Structure 1
Amino acid sequence: MEFNEYQEAANRTLYGTEQVLTNCALGVAAEGGQLVDLIKDYTFKGRELDKTKLTKEMGDVLWYLSQIAEWADIEFDDVAKDNILKLNKRYPDGFKK
């Protein structure tokens, strides 16, 4: 699935009025926190990394990010492309320690 296709499909479940941007920004933080908790529990508490839950939380973050882009009239493909261009410029030979 292409990012723009995802953005359009995800927009079907967007709700809210003028508070959409704030709701989505808070959603990124909340879902990101849940993602961090899964990783923290794996890293520091010795729990197994539940890939199903990890995938779900990553998807939730992706949904909110796509809807912020939608609100701002930014194609989600452009977000991904611009990020890769920035990384390639910053690390032309890849990231090495």
Structure 2
Amino acid sequence: MDLNDYQQQANKTLAGNEHVLTNLSLGLASDSGQLIDLVQKYTFQGQDLDRDALMDRMGDVLWYLSQIALWADIPFDDVAKANLATLKARYPQQKR
């Protein structure tokens, strides 16, 4: 799936109000924390990794990121491309 297409389709579920960016940012922090909690339980508490829950949280984080980018009028494909350029510059020794 194209990331820009995802961004536009996901936007259909955004309930807008005057505090959209704040709501998106708080949701991102919350779901990121839930994702981290799953990893912590796996890593330090010996629990099985709940891959379904992990995928759900990653999907929610993806949704929040895509909507923050859309709010800022930034195509999500541009976010991904810029990140790959940053990684290439940061890790030039890595094989491509």
Provide the TM-score with structure 1 as the length reference.
Answer: 0.95
Paired-residue identity, %: 59
Quote how far apart the aligned CAs of 1:17 are. 1.5
Distance 1:84 1:93 in 2: 14
1:17-75 Cα offsets, whole Å, 9 max, x none, are 12110000001100000000000000011000011110000000000000000100000
Matches within 5 A, 1:1-97: 1-94=1-94
Distance 1:41 1:82 in 2: 32
After the TM superposition, which segments of 4 or more aligned residues of structure 1 sit over 3 Å from their partners? none
Letter in 2 for 1:60: D
Letter in 1 for 2:24: C
Provide the TM-score with structure 2 as the length reference.
Answer: 0.95
Mark the runs of 5 or more structure 1 residues left unpaired by the alignment: none
Mark the runs of 5 or more structure 2 residues left unpaired by the alignment: none
Distance 2:93 2:50 in 1: 33
Distance 1:15 1:94 in 2: 42
SS of the aligned residue for 1:92 comes to coil
Distance 2:48 2:34 in 1: 15
Q: Give the RMSD, CA atoms, in angstroms.
A: 1.1
